[in-house]
Homo-oligomer: A and B are copies of this chain.
Amino acid sequence: MKYNKVDNEILERLRIICGTENVITDKEKLIDYSHDEYPRQEIKSYPEVVVKPRNEQEVAEVLKLANENLIPVTPRGAATGLAGGCVPVYGGIVLSLENMNRIIEIDKQNFVVVTESGVPLMKFFKEIEQQGLFFPPHPGDESAMIGGVIATNAGGSRAVKYGVIRNFVRGIEVVLPNGNIIQCGGKLIKNSAGYSLLNLFIGSEGTLGVITKATIAVVPPLASVVTLVVPFENIDSAINAVPEILRSNVLPMAIEFVELEPIILTEKLLNKSWPTKQGSAHLMIIIDAQDKDTALSFAEKVAEVCEKYNAMEVFIADTTDKQQTILEIRSHLYESIKNFTVEILDIAVPIAKIAEFVNNIHEIEKKYGIWLPTYGHAGDGNVHIHYMKGKFVNGEIIQLKESEWQPKLEEVIDKIIDLGLQLGGSITGEHGVGLVKKKYMGKMYSAEYLSLLKSIKNVFDPKNILNPGKII
Interface pair A246/B111, CB less than 8 Å apart: yes
Q: In chain B, what residue has the closest Cβ to A352?
A: B109
Q: Which residues of B contact A197 (CB under 8 A)?
A: 449, 452-453
Q: Are B426 and A188 interface neighbours, CB within 8 A? A: yes
**Mask: chain A, 168-199; 1 = CB below 8 Å from B; 0 = not:** 00000000100010111011111111111101
A467 on the B face (CB < 8 A):
no
Docked-complex contact A193 and B441, CB < 8 angstroms? yes
Q: A188-B425, A223-B249, A459-B456 are in contact. Are A437 and B203 (CB under 8 A)?
A: no
* Contact between chains at A193 and B444 (CB < 8 Å): yes
CA distance A248 to B223 in the complex (A): 11
Q: Closest CB-CB distance, A424 to chain B, in whole Å?
A: 5
| A348 adjacent to B190 (CB under 8 Å) | yes
Check B426 against A192 for contact (C-beta < 8 Å): yes
Asked if A369 lies at the interface with its beta carbon under 8 angstroms from chain B, I say no
**When the two chains form their complex, are residues A351 and B182 in contact, meaning their CB atoms are under 8 A apart?**
no
- Chain B residue with the shortest CB-CB distance to A83: B192
Chain B CB count within 10 A is highest, among A132, A180, A426, for A426
CB of A159 within 8 A of chain B? yes
- Contacting residues, chain B, for A220 (C-beta < 8 A): 246-249
State the Cβ distance, A72 to closest chain B Cβ, in Å. 19
B186 touches A424 (CB 8 A): yes
A320 on interface, CB distance cutoff 8 Å? no
Q: When the two chains form the complex, which single residue of B349, B381, B427 contacts A193, counting CB atoms closer than 8 Å?
A: B427
Q: Are B382 and A190 in contact (CB under 8 A)?
A: yes
A446 CB within 8 Å of chain B:
yes
- Whether A16 is near chain B, meaning CB under 8 Å from some CB there, is no
The answer to whether A187 touches B448 (Cβ under 8 A) is no
Once the chains are docked, how many angstroms separate the CA of A203 from the CA of B248? Answer: 33
- In the bound complex, residues from chain B placing their C-beta under 8 Å from that of A20 are none
- Chain B nearest CB from A115 CB (Å) reads 16
How far, in Å, is A132 (CB) from chain B's closest CB?
A: 8
Instruction: Please tell me which one of the listed residues B167, B193, B382, B456 contacts residue A163 in the complex, with CB atoms under 8 A apart.
Output: B167
Contacts of A427 in B (CB 8 A): 193
Contact status B453-A194, CB under 8 Å: yes
Q: Are B448 and A190 in contact (CB under 8 A)?
A: no
Q: Give a binary string over A430-445; 1 marks a CB under 8 Å from any B CB, 0 the rest.
A: 1111000100010011
Which residues of chain A have a CB within 8 Å of any CB of chain B? 107-112, 132, 152-155, 159, 163-164, 166-167, 176, 180, 182-184, 186-197, 199-200, 202-204, 208, 219-220, 222-223, 243, 246-251, 290, 294, 298, 348-352, 377, 380-382, 424-433, 437, 441, 444-446, 448-449, 452-453, 455-457, 459-460, 471-472
Supply 23 A–B pairs (Cβ within 8 Å), ascending by A: A155-B190, A159-B189, A164-B189, A164-B190, A180-B448, A182-B449, A187-B350, A190-B348, A190-B380, A190-B382, A192-B426, A192-B429, A192-B433, A193-B445, A195-B200, A195-B456, A195-B471, A197-B452, A199-B202, A220-B248, A220-B249, A250-B290, A294-B294
